[in-house]
């Protein structure tokens, strides 16, 4: 079971808005000793959203979906989640109550049966069997179905809602897997020349991944590679020493990061 992230909205793909969810979700997970397994960006295309959710529901992964749960014509996520599951959209009683309470808070003499306010109740229509994700910003809830959790696209709402989901549903997974990471900066080296060393380290340490992040450098920094190991702390220590020895043996210009 992996943690996945789906970010929905034409405005992200067109560049009108810059995604902020990816780094924040990585941060929220890391604070709890977890990590993101995958992420996907989707536009406001109902067929593509439905197909993606059909695949991710079948995967068993824990999935966060940000965006598209409003009630305007370009919001499709609620409908697509229902279609992907083969369930009807139904008005959630508590979700309806929350929206009406929010209307009363902002406009005490509002007519709850006006066309505008009845339309707002669309935001409480979720796939049958869904549970609410409380929204501390304005009470208009997100929803959970199985291991999929749907929140608005607005960071001020989405981020506390995602934190609530993690702390409420997945605290038993926090900090279960110890991880460590150590790296060197290797100057003026070709990745191809270092690949045999990387392969040797991974072969000797099955609980470690080797990573290589090359940089062309700039006016202040020479061309270099951030070369490191991450994974099981005990194996990371041994793999890091093997990497140091290997770099020294080929006369590499390197320094610990």
Mean per-residue pLDDT pooled into runs of 10, the chain (257 residues)? 96 96 98 96 98 97 97 96 98 98 95 96 98 96 98 97 98 92 96 96 98 94 96 96 97 96
User: How many other CB atoms are there within 10 angstroms of residue 61's CB atom?
Assistant: 16
**Cβ neighbours for 114, distance < 8 A, ≥ 6 positions apart:** none
Structure tokens at 13: 């793909």
Query: Residue 45's pLDDT is what?
Result: 97
CA atoms of 52 and 62, how far apart (whole Å): 14
Query: Residue 89's pLDDT is what?
Result: 97
Distance separating the N- and C-terminal Cα atoms of the chain:
32
Query: Residue 1's pLDDT is what?
Result: 80
Write down the domain spans for the chain: 3-173, 180-256
Query: Residue 177's pLDDT is what?
Result: 84
Query: What class, spelled out in words, does domain 180-256 have in CATH?
Result: alpha beta
Surface-to-core class of residue 210, CB atoms within 10 Å of its CB (0-12 exposed, 13-18 middle, 19+ buried): buried
Q: Is beta strand 89-91 parallel, antiparallel or unpaired with respect to 131-133?
A: unpaired
Query: Residue 27's pLDDT is what?
Result: 98
Query: Residue 132's pLDDT is what?
Result: 98
Domain spanning 3-173: CATH superfamily: MoaB/Mog-like domain (3.40.980.10)
What pTM value is reported for the model? 0.89
């Amino acid at each position: 079971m992996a943690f996945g992230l789906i970010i929905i909205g034409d405005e992200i793909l067109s560049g009108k808005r810059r995604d902020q969810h990816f780094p924040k979700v990585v941060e929220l997970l890391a604070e709890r000793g977890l990590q993101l397994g995958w992420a996907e960006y989707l536009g406001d295309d109902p067929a593509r959203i439905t197909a993606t959710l059909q695949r991710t529901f079948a995967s068993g992964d824990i999935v966060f979906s940000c965006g598209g749960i409003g009630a305007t014509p370009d919001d499709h996520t609620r409908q697509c989640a229902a279609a992907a599951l083969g369930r009807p959209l139904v008005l959630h009683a508590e979700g309806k109550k929350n929206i009406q309470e929010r209307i009363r808070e902002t406009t005490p003499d509002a007519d709850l049966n006006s066309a505008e306010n009845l339309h707002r109740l669309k935001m409480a229509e979720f796939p049958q069997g869904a549970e609410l994700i409380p929204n501390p910003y304005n009470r208009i809830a997100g929803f959970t179905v199985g291991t999929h959790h749907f929140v608005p696209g607005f960071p001020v709402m989405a981020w506390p809602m995602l934190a609530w989901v993690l702390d409420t549903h997945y605290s038993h997974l926090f900090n279960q897997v110890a991880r460590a990471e150590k790296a060197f900066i290797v100057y003026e080296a070709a990745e191809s020349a270092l690949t045999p060393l990387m392969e040797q380290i991974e072969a000797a340490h099955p609980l470690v991944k080797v990573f290589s992040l090359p940089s062309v450098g700039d006016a202040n920094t020479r061309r270099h590679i951030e070369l490191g190991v991450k994974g099981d702390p005990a194996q990371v220590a041994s793999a890091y020493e093997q990497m140091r020895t290997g770099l020294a043996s080929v006369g590499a210009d390197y320094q610990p990061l």
